[in-house]
Structure 1
């Protein structure tokens, strides 16, 4: 038998167990969507005792007078009443924490959702958008980004479709290596190459996650293809040499690079190490291990560069050009080709994903300058250009030292691209979505070019593709210059990198190769570039 004190303690313990832990604070929310969806959401919130959401009311897509209350939750009106409802609730000190919108494209247009977002932002209310409500309720997988905009419609021109049996003859059955295999260009290269059935496809990337994604995608699509993944930085010469020694690639597609202009501008040493030293390491491995060709992916930002990213890519072009010219008298020497193109629509970190995110969040679209314009192409076009131009060059033995450039038509003003995206999203530019001009970023040009002022533009014999030809820099000189760039990069000497890289990038246009005769060694000319003031370097650009 329990004594009196023991009974009291037992009763207090049972009482405490019934009370349980202190309930969490529940967030107030308003639902905007069809009544069928709202009813299921309300039922779930009620039956889930751990739910942190309290449904205050529902706004229907259209006003339904016959429906005043359902499932114990008031119908507050239609989605058009969102502004007045929030004002009233704020006055009553019952403003919700969230407005949850069923954004599945069935009842609400993009313009409707944008207006809801604007009304909520005025009151400081967070908007949660559910793209695929039924898949989410049933715990099915769903695309978290919703439907994507039709990228090709943003070009303002017909998309180029390059197709040739030449590519098949150069790639099928051979060992092919792709650097930067997990990036936007690299992964599309891998997908298109995989369709041609190479003997071995070697994927090289320094990002484990990116490498995993492209490898799994390819293995699902091509289970019988011999795919090899290698985690390696192109700046790690021993690692790159081991990969080449193991797989002996026939053709190397070099897509690895640091490409974001503002980031490279404030990280000169990192940009030089990847875009110049990394390119040299891969190029030297091509020579050392007997590959037939290396195809370097370049950019229009390498033309008359004003930013460091473009200048580093230009130096990479010049080094590959010098190596290619070494084989003028040796038909067995490997080919080094560069493929240059403009901005890729939808690539990571580019303007289209930024505009898409701003549209989804109901924010203004930010453009750096009213007159800024760019050349654009799709990633499919870019990769077809790379494959077809390089394969044709190998088969026809085109003149060495050329850079292949896609005829991308006229450049597109970024502000026009922004308006086109707003329209494709079902909204009105300036009325539903404003456009804000935020100023040019460091290293950014108003206008991009496809040909350097020292280059000759000629027909390539391949439809839609031109060749850019210029005087190459002798290999001993550019090798000496890149050796010095490596020393500066390892030492973290940013200012020296900026001087030397820009000086080297502009030399074919500004200098005369006879100048080399005025110096007892290439080292003296390199010293001349390094001694130039930063102001002089900027003016020369």
Structure 2
């Protein structure tokens, strides 16, 4: 309250001072004396105090006096003066004339000048107590070598806001040498007190010029709103800054995500066709709806990249209930919130459950009784599984067995297993564990050859998924934006690629087709992904998509193959027969399955090795099982007892 009284007193003093100056200059001495009376002074002070207080003028701090505050001073002083002059003329019984109008206008202008002067002085004092960051940055005197110097890169409005933030800091750790605008065509010479040194494309020249003055920048602060500087321009700026040995700091506007949705020049998504060299696969929604609609569907790994997209697409086909299973509470929360926002009427149940925990899995199945199970949970990163073979077995083999056994026990209609091309002729543990999971599902599927009511176990196999967590594309994009070289393990390494949407459509369409048409059991569905893509070619295409030149703007660094990694991936094993599917873009693979008694016995030994922590034994059993179908051993699936005897005689464990 004391602050308001003091500030009000200063403004009232300005009103009275301007009144006395006006009366002395314009009126005759006899009339001027009447305006010097206490009654007239009381009218002007009272009117000003009342209007200023009611308007909320003193809710604003003088330390941050600016244009908006100034406009408010103009308006409230006009109202207060109009009231005071009208009341004074009435009291003095004077008729308004040209002289009085001139006096009122002069008094108002003087009042504004004094009130704004007081506020400007207060702000000047406030800023005078701050370090002269911008002023020192504009000087030509060489700076201390330990003192940071920054270049701002962005629009004039953005740069001005950053300069204001710097001035508000008590002890900023860098100084601004100048501003680089998005376009040199902008005729602006200065932004605030900072000089405009050119456009963002002139970074090299500007840094060299400042270095000659003994003021070489150490940091570049860029506007990362995706509007004034596109992602391509940010990437180029990042590489130039790295070459110059400058640190790049990007400031993202909190409104940028909203602005990007409406800005006509916002960056577009990367063109899948240009990256993959083929068109994206499309699906038949009617076929999928016929199998999913009205059924309870359960998805494992629901919080992952594939599992999350799988849940989003399944939800659109109106299942009676969608059960989300994942061991990560956060991932489960994110996908559940997304689905509830998009499908508010859908019955969604979230289960925090590790597929390694057989008792918990059985409880989930007993409660929800799913009709269709999509099994997407897996450990998928090749080097990690290679260095943690027992963990890979627990999730990719024994976890798959747990889910498949629950499907049998609780009479689900079908289980669809998500597999990978790394399961074909595997050299690493990730591929080998996925192959064993395929074989177990295939063995269960073959058990229902003579029983039309037996559950179906289908395997869907595809290549690398662009944009999935840990995949090569996000890594390349992150390296590009950070100004680093793109790392490729081998110049000849190549992979089959597909998008997340394609992967999920393959899963849904092939499984729905198999259920509706009752296709041959033991079939593995594979997407026709065209020709494999060299990773180094993908890197070149991505660099070009950012408007940069490969090996010139962005180098490629060969880092060597990782443990368990192959140069070339395959889609079919040597023992598998390729059959053209009735579904466009999908190929079926049929191979010699392993009898269920044999694989069950081997999995018991494998589980024992894992529980005992015997990594080498776990790897040996896994690789043996993965290679068995292509080893030339023939099994007679029509004679279970004989198959068991054969299994015992051939069992390597």
TM-score bracket, normalised by the shorter chain, equals 0.7 to 0.9
Match of 2:621 in 1: 500
Match of 1:379 in 2: 500
**2:507 and 2:186 mapped to 1: Cα distance?**
61
1:416 shift after superposition:
1.4
Aligned with residue 254 of structure 1, among 358, 367, 375? 375
Aligned with residue 285 of structure 1, among 406, 410, 415? 406
8 Å CA contact 1:186, 1:255 repeated in 2: yes
**2:288 and 2:298 mapped to 1: Cα distance?**
15
Alignment of 1:325-404 (within 5 A): 325-404=446-525
Match of 2:139 in 1: none
Match of 1:99 in 2: 220
**1:257 and 1:65 mapped to 2: Cα distance?**
54
> For structure 1, which segment, 53-62 or 182-191, has the greater mean C-alpha deviation from structure 2 after superposition?
53-62
**1:227 and 1:467 mapped to 2: Cα distance?**
33
Aligned with residue 234 of structure 2, among 113, 125, 140? 113
1:75 shift after superposition:
2.8
> For structure 1, which segment, 96-105 or 227-236, has the greater mean C-alpha deviation from structure 2 after superposition?
96-105
**1:393 and 1:115 mapped to 2: Cα distance?**
49
Query: Using a 3 Å threshold, how does the CA distance of structure 1 residues 68 and 291 change in structure 2: closer, same or farther?
Result: same
Count of matched residue positions in the alignment of Structure 1 and Structure 2: 506
1:37 shift after superposition:
2.0
8 Å CA contact 2:595, 2:635 repeated in 1: no
Query: Using a 3 Å threshold, how does the CA distance of structure 1 residues 519 and 44 change in structure 2: closer, same or farther?
Result: closer
> For structure 1, which segment, 113-122 or 268-277, has the greater mean C-alpha deviation from structure 2 after superposition?
113-122
Aligned with residue 197 of structure 2, among 58, 76, 88? 76
Match of 1:130 in 2: 251
Which of these two proteins has the greater Rg computed from alpha carbons?
A: 2
**1:522 and 1:72 mapped to 2: Cα distance?**
84
Deviation track 1:297-349 (CA, whole Å, cap 9, x = no partner) reads 00111011111101100000000000001111111111111011111111110
Query: Using a 3 Å threshold, how does the CA distance of structure 1 residues 175 and 488 change in structure 2: closer, same or farther?
Result: same
Asked if residue 36 in structure 1 is aligned to residue 165 in structure 2, the reply is no
**2:610 and 2:423 mapped to 1: Cα distance?**
20
Query: Using a 3 Å threshold, how does the CA distance of structure 1 residues 152 and 131 change in structure 2: closer, same or farther?
Result: farther
Alignment of 1:235-250 (within 5 A): 235-250=356-371
Partner of 2:563, secondary structure, is coil
**2:186 and 2:534 mapped to 1: Cα distance?**
48
**1:131 and 1:150 mapped to 2: Cα distance?**
25
Deviation track 1:73-102 (CA, whole Å, cap 9, x = no partner) reads 233333344224434555666444421112
**1:408 and 1:52 mapped to 2: Cα distance?**
53
Deviation track 1:132-152 (CA, whole Å, cap 9, x = no partner) reads 4754999x9x9xx98653445
4+ residue runs over 6 A deviation: 515-519
Match of 1:317 in 2: 438
Asked if residue 304 in structure 1 is aligned to residue 403 in structure 2, the reply is no
**2:211 and 2:612 mapped to 1: Cα distance?**
59
Partner of 1:201, secondary structure, is strand
After superposition, the CA RMSD in angstroms is 3.1
**1:129 and 1:492 mapped to 2: Cα distance?**
47
1:54 shift after superposition:
3.8
Alignment of 1:210-221 (within 5 A): 210-221=331-342
1:69 shift after superposition:
3.8
Query: Using a 3 Å threshold, how does the CA distance of structure 1 residues 198 and 26 change in structure 2: closer, same or farther?
Result: farther
**1:81 and 1:201 mapped to 2: Cα distance?**
55
**2:317 and 2:230 mapped to 1: Cα distance?**
42
8 Å CA contact 1:176, 1:201 repeated in 2: yes
1:49 shift after superposition:
4.6
Alignment of 1:438-449 (within 5 A): 438-449=559-570
Match of 1:473 in 2: 594
Aligned with residue 311 of structure 2, among 183, 186, 190? 190
8 Å CA contact 1:152, 1:159 repeated in 2: yes
1:253 shift after superposition:
0.2
**Higher relative contact order by CA 8 Å / sep ≥ 6: 1 or 2?**
1
Partner of 2:459, secondary structure, is strand
**1:288 and 1:397 mapped to 2: Cα distance?**
21
Aligned with residue 545 of structure 2, among 424, 431, 434? 424
Partner of 1:415, secondary structure, is helix
Higher helix fraction (1 or 2):
2
**1:195 and 1:396 mapped to 2: Cα distance?**
23
* Structure 1 gap segments, 5+ residues each: 1-17, 530-541
* Structure 2 gap segments, 5+ residues each: 1-125, 132-145
**1:523 and 1:488 mapped to 2: Cα distance?**
18
TM superposition score normalised by structure 2: 0.72
8 Å CA contact 2:301, 2:326 repeated in 1: yes
8 Å CA contact 1:152, 1:378 repeated in 2: no
**1:118 and 1:385 mapped to 2: Cα distance?**
39
Query: Using a 3 Å threshold, how does the CA distance of structure 1 residues 73 and 133 change in structure 2: closer, same or farther?
Result: farther
**1:193 and 1:97 mapped to 2: Cα distance?**
51
